[in-house]
Every structure is written in structure tokens, then in C-alpha cells.
Amino acid sequence: MLQFENKTSMPVYLSIAHYDSSEGMFMTEDWWCIHSNETITPYAKQLDNRYYYFYAHSSGNNFEWAGDTELNVFHQPFKLKEPSHCVTSHSTKKFKKLDVGNSKSYLVRLTHHSSSPLSEEDQIFIKIFRDAKQLK
């Protein structure tokens, strides 16, 4: 299983990506809200890949956890098959690559020290995301 623990003082929004052998391609999934000092399990199956990917951003203080792998995301809960062509309803984020080795479960701790400031473009994306959630 793949777990994420929020060790910051603010909510964090998370998206994950992984290879799905039943689909024969990468899947990018959902936005989970992880509250401060909360641990969630967005991937509950036993880990069967060496690499998993995640992108996360904070609520309020404009921090992100990003890497070098560019994948599509959507501003509402989603599940995308990759590679999919970006359309106007999608944007891309740079996902961080996790090497879990042979582990069957893995925990990622999200801390202020493991994040970086958000770009102006990403701050706009987060505003759109929050506005869309308020419309529900």
C-alpha cells in the first residue's frame, strides 16, 4: 500500500500516478485532501511496481511537492490514463518519482522541509481548483 502523512500545519491536496498492468498504461488519480497530522492510503493494494509518482500542494501557504515527471491533472477529482493529450480541461504538473524498491508498502511524509514555494502559474491553478470545489 502507498500512504501519505501530512506533517504540515495545513491541508495538503495530493494526486498520484502509477503503472496499471491491467490497463497497460500509467494512471493518474484523484485529489485527496490530507489534513494536518493525518495519514491516508490512496493506493491500498500491495505495491507491485518499483516506481510511483505523486504531486501535492498545500492549502493556503502556497507550497508544493513536485518533481520532474510531467503528467496531466484535472481541477476536480479524476482518473486519467496516461499519456493522454492535454485538452483545455487538463493541465500538467511535475510529479515526484518515488523509488519504493521491493517494498510492498511505503509511507511518504509531507513536511515543510520537503516542499518548495509555488510558482505564480500554480497559484492560479490552485485558485481555480478551490473555486470549483466551492461550486459544489
pLDDT at 76 over 90: no
The pLDDT assigned to 33 comes to: 94
The pLDDT assigned to 88 comes to: 47
Single pTM value for the model? 0.76
How many Cα atoms are found within 13 Å in the side-chain-facing hemisphere of 85? 1
Percent residues over pLDDT 90 in the chain: 46
pLDDT in tens, 6-36: 999 999 999 999 988 887 878 888 789 999 9
> Euclidean distance between the first and final Cα of the chain, in Å?
31
The better pLDDT of the pair 103, 29 is held by 103
Cell of 102: 521491493
Band of pLDDT at residue 2, cut at 50, 70 and 90: very high
Strands 2-6 and 106-110: parallel
pLDDT in tens, 42-60: 999 999 999 999 999 988 7
DSSP state of 113: G
